[in-house]
Amino acid sequence: MEGPAFHPYLSGRANLARLDAADRYSDPRTSRVRIDAALDRVGLLAVAEKRYRAYSLGMRQRLAIANSLLMPRDLLVLDEPTNGLDPQGTREVRHLISELASDGATVLVSSHLLAEVDQICSHVGVMYEGRLVAQGPLNELRASTTQTVRVDTDRTEDAARVLTELGLSEIASSSGYVTGTLGDVAIEKIVPNLVNACVPVLGFAVLRPSLEDVFVSLTGEGFDVSG
Amino acid sequence: MSAAEVLAVANQPRARVSTRFLRSELKIIFGRRRNIAGLGVLAAVPVILAISVRVSSGSQGAGPDFIIGITGNGLFVAFAALALELPLFLPLAVSAISGDAVAGEANLGTLRYLLAIPAGRTRLLVIKYAAIVIFALVATLLVALVGSIMGLALFGAGDMTLLSGTQTSLADGVWRLVLSSLYLAAGFAALGAIGLFVSTLTEQPIGATIAIVLVNVMMFILDSISQLDWLHPWLLTHWWTAFGDLLRDPIATESIQRGLITALVYAGVFWLAACARLSTKDISS
């Protein structure tokens, strides 16, 4: 079963009321207020009386999130929360998750949309074949993979020489720029060294590996992408 | 246990004992158009019966023994309607509700939401079964009520002749009708327990409903094979027709008692079976 699931012939509000009624710990006196607050928070208050059947996938997804907001929670587990949402909806959900986190809740998002994870999460865990192969703060995980620097210059040969002297590996020159793998070299040393060697530095960038690169480096290529 | 954990436990609100979940369940059952239509069909039988007997008044003959008494006193419409709906219609209605109980939620995917709350698996089955029992009761009483109204309106409210030939008052007749309805509802509720169990086996509510109807019909078939008479007392449906004993004077209680005990045992065994099944089931949908 994919995605959210509710009684199709009940309205969004009635569905939440049903789930709230099943909760032994919820206070019936505040039920209406809490349901409306949850619906409001996900932007469904205006369509609260519509049958769930008539909801779009994005609305359904948001109703599922509203359900988790009925009671204050310490931990929320969201499985693909932005699945089926339009760009605005995705943004709203992202905003909502950040809000929940800043309110003190721990939000565990399970997702394969790495760009999303990149934007939302402070910590990530990578699962592969049922095992947790890596976990930690996003930055640490990124740092554990190799970083590449790119120097834009019109004197690529000199730049390549300086970088080699500094101890960078896998130096590659192209027209207009040189790239190299950082290794243990301190980033702040690179530009002064280039300038001292009279290499005009037109641009400098540390190419942070994308989360996808990190993921692939941890789990392998899967299909042979190089063909 | 750290200070933070102690705090977390202290902040945990206490569980409330309330009928909210049951009321919500009943609202879903009695709010569904499908179920309302089903109840409408159940209620239509005594209406059709009363009108058709009234229209053809005088030409008594075919039909169950009960129908012969209809023209004498209106309450017999209710008894006759119960007797007519007993083999299939009423069990079918209970089958539809009980088959849908867990399988319906599993089919929609709402079961995992309920369990994630957590509603509690045993508690869920208690609530689901309570709702089935209430539905069985409402369905049976509805047939009795509509039958009484139609019967009294079309045939009057004179003294009632019981199956044993003695005359009794209208009030006593009504009392016996209530007892009959309760007795039959107990039997249907026991069938509902079988339904609840079957409902935990599948994610297809229609499949569950069909299976329960099959079980019901199978019991009637086995009950009609005289070579299997050793089996008959063990069949749930065998005792249902004993509600006619409530129309004797004095009331013959032996079969009624056996029927109630059989219903209770069926209900207990199958509710526990449903519990055993659901408590170990991996709910992925």
pLDDT digits (tens, 9 = 90+) for B135-149: 999 999 999 999 999
pLDDT single digits (tens) B209-259: 999 999 999 999 999 999 999 999 999 999 999 998 888 888 888 999 999
Listed residue (B111, B8, B22) closest to A24, CA to CA = B22
Q: Which residues of A touch B18 (CB under 8 A)?
A: 28
In this structure, how many other beta carbons lie within 10 angstroms of the beta carbon of residue B200? 24
Q: What is the pLDDT of residue B207?
A: 96
Q: Indicate the domain borders of chain A.
A: 12-121, 144-209
Nearest to B24 among A5, A8, A21 (CB): A21
Q: Where residue A194 falls among pLDDT bands split at 50, 70, 90?
A: confident
DSSP, collapsed to helix, strand or coil, labels residue A82 as coil
Domain membership flag for residue B232: yes
Query: Does the A12-121 domain belong in CATH 2.30.30.60?
Result: no
* Chain B contact present for A1, CB below 8 A: yes
- The CATH number assigned to the domain with range A144-209 reads 3.30.70.980
Domain membership flag for residue B12: no
Domain membership flag for residue B65: yes
Domain membership flag for residue B8: no
How far is it, in rounded angstroms, from Cα B283 to Cα B105?
11
Q: Per the structure block, which two tokens stand in for A31? A: 């039920």
**B19 to chain A: closest CA residue:** A21
| pLDDT, greater one: B225 or A142 | B225
Q: What is the pLDDT of residue A205?
A: 84
- The ranges of chain B with pLDDT < 50 are 1-10, 59, 61-62
Q: Per the structure block, which two tokens stand in for B129? A: 């079964």
Domain containing B92: what range? 18-280
Radius of gyration of chain B (CA): 22
Domain membership flag for residue B10: no
pTM of the model: 0.82
A227 has pLDDT over 70: no
Domain membership flag for residue B76: yes
- Kindly tell me the burial class for residue B37, based on how many C-beta atoms sit within 10 Å of its own C-beta (0-12, 13-18, 19 or more): exposed
* Chain B contact present for A105, CB below 8 A: no
Strand pairing partners for A137? A123
For A59-73, A127-141, B135-149, which range has the lowest pLDDT when averaged over its residues? A127-141
How far, in whole angstroms, is CA B9 from its chain's centroid? Answer: 43
Domain membership flag for residue B251: yes
Q: Per the structure block, which two tokens stand in for B33? A: 């158009």
How many domains does the structure of chain B reveal?
Answer: 1
Domain membership flag for residue B259: yes
* Chain B contact present for A52, CB below 8 A: no
A48 has pLDDT over 90: yes
Q: Give the single-character DSSP code of A151.
A: E
Listed residue (A152, A151, A176, A175) closest to A163, CA to CA = A151
Q: What is the pLDDT of residue B283?
A: 78
How far is it, in rounded angstroms, from Cα B75 to Cα B80?
9
